[in-house]
Amino acid sequence: MKHPVLRRDIIAAVRSFAGLGLGVGTAGNVSVRAPGGVLITPSGVPYSELRPADIVQLNPAGEVISGRLAPSSEWRFHCDILARRNDVGAIVHAHSAFATAIACTRRDIPAFHYMIAVAGGDSIRCAPYATFGTAALSQHALSALRGRQACLLANHGQIALGSNLTAALAMAQEVEELSRQYWLSKQLRRPVLLAGREMKLVLEKFKNYGRRPVQKRR
């Protein structure tokens, strides 16, 4: 069995979903880029029962290289995103409650808060609806993720990307929290959106966000 550490990391990630507010049951899946292809959660196995050997290894075209279980029904968009996006090392797909609720309105999350910029733009796009597991859904997701680290999927959920699994999980959590805040704000009135100019400034600041060396105190 190749990549035992990555397999264990994937299992830990999906088991953390409930605690991170990313959903319950087996809705949601995770993939990680591995030498020669993709490691992905299998279809329909409760997270508590997952063992490293259950993680399915696919080649870049999405064909099973190793594993006795079927890959997640969403293997297609996982493989397509990893094939197109060299900057992405891991993908988290979740049906988290607030992100999904907003995705059911088929609208983007606008710049109601500057943190929207963590996903790489001045909104979090909502990909148009297509049936789960289809090539059409994969195409919609790729378009919605252009230049971005996350998107919503209409009447479905969210996709979060990262250079590694830790980053992808953090992005999924961020999308869920922003969705919750947006929903809360909409209960009060229509949120006042940040202007395009301000979001450009924030996006510029975010390019260096978290990467600066700590200043020495004298």
Least CB distance to Zn ion at residue 189 (A): 32
Of 121, 123, 122, 128, nearest to 105 by C-alpha is: 128
- In the annotation, is 198 catalytic? no
Residues 137-176, mask of contacts with Zn ion (x by CB under 5 A): --------------------x-------------------
Least CB distance to Zn ion at residue 70 (A): 15
* DSSP state letter for 151: E
* Helices 135-144 and 75-84, axial angle in degrees (round to 10): 40
Number of residues lying near Zn ion (CB under 5 A): 1
Q: Which is nearer to Zn ion, 66 or 139 (CB)?
A: 139
DSSP assignments along 16-85, one per residue? TTTTTTS-STT-EEEEEEETTEEEEPBSS--GGG--GGGSEEE-TTS-EEE-SS-B-TTHHHHHHHHHH-
Q: Which is nearer to Zn ion, 99 or 202 (CB)?
A: 99
Q: Which is nearer to Zn ion, 126 or 194 (CB)?
A: 126
Q: Which is nearer to Zn ion, 41 or 57 (CB)?
A: 41
Annotated catalytic residue within 63, 74, 176, 204 = 74
Least CB distance to Zn ion at residue 166 (A): 21
Q: Which residue is nearest to Zn ion (CB)?
A: 157
What are the structure tokens assigned to 210, written together? 């978290």
Question: Please, are residues 14 and 35 in contact by the beta-carbon 8 Å criterion?
Answer: no
Least CB distance to Zn ion at residue 133 (A): 9
What gap in Å lies between CA 91 and CA 94, rounded to an integer?
10
Catalytically annotated residues: 74
Binding site for Zn ion (CB under 5 A): 157
